Amino acid sequence: MALPPQIDRRLAALGVRPGDVDERFVRGAGPGGQKINKTSSTVWLRHRPTGVEVRCQTERLQSANRELAWAQLCDKLEERARSAKAEVIDAREKERRRTRGKTRGQKIRMIESKKHRAKHKASRGRVGGEW
């Protein structure tokens, strides 16, 4: 069975081939009685390279569950790609912050602090000034 065009476009944008995905139709579980127990309307997808799994049994029709499962798989893979990209950007930004120099204000405050510390330590000497 062919996938809807919007799912095909999303998969192509992610670089996922439909052949990399295991698709199985299994019997449902949960409330619904005899109908859900005897029909294989639940769709189970697994993307082999990443190990991402999706199960969908929200609808009564296998075809509707199939479309929903493929959409959910695309959502999960897109979120995974987004988080990987954000991780790279965060690492780059962290390195940039680590290696940048001090601002002018920070340098002035540091020098003032050192002068204050020197004055404080100098005042610890003997009253007469001689040892």
Residue spans per domain, the chain: 5-99
Which overall architecture, per CATH, does domain 5-99 show?
2-Layer Sandwich (3.30)
How many angstroms separate the CA atoms of 17 and 49, rounded? 10
One digit per residue, the tens of pLDDT, for the chain of length 131 reads: 788 889 999 999 999 998 999 999 999 888 878 888 888 999 999 999 999 999 999 988 999 999 999 999 999 999 999 999 999 999 999 999 999 999 999 999 999 999 999 999 988 877 766 65
Of the candidates 36, 8, 24, the residue with the CA atom closest to the CA atom of residue 66: 24
Question: Does pTM surpass 0.75?
Answer: no
Alpha helices in the chain, H assignment, sequence order:
5-14, 33-38, 62-99, 104-122
Q: How many Å is the maximal CA-CA distance in the chain? A: 102
